[in-house]
Amino acid sequence: MSIENAFITPENINGLCALQVGDDAGFRYIVSNISDTDSATFTGITTDVAESAEMSPPGPKTVEPQSEINSGVSGADLAPGDPAFITTLRGLRENAEPGESFSVTFTFADRDPIEIMVPVEACPAA
């Protein structure tokens, strides 16, 4: 399994781009299954930067051998291909500005978890 193109995505609201404590943030990423033979079951995300990580639609996601699934961001497809689902980090526990990074763990029912540092993406144009 590998995680690619992972970014916390701020919004540009009235020229401000930093995410504040208590805000929700979009989260985009690609989960790739590099196995030739075995499917994997992606169950979710944990992180200390937010109260919770919510996938919509909820529930485990099956990643077939030699394939990928991706999470876009509500209102925009910021990941390559059609997003399979949307992920939102609910209730940020820290302020987050573009360029900062936070630890995020991707969990699987049938694989070891994968922990990576995920950057806050540059502010989109207004």
The answer to whether 122 touches 98, Cβ cutoff 8 Å, is yes
Amino acid at 57: P
Averaged over 78-91, what is the pLDDT? 72
Residue-range domains of the chain with CATH: 2-119 (2.60.40.1890)
Q: Rounded to two decimals, what is the model's pTM?
A: 0.85
% of the chain beyond a pLDDT of 90: 50
Mean pLDDT of 60-70: 91
- Contact residues for 4 (Cβ-Cβ < 8 A; gap 6+): 29, 30, 32, 68
Beta strands in the chain (DSSP E): 2-9, 25-33, 40-47, 50-56, 61-63, 67-72, 85-92, 101-108, 114-119
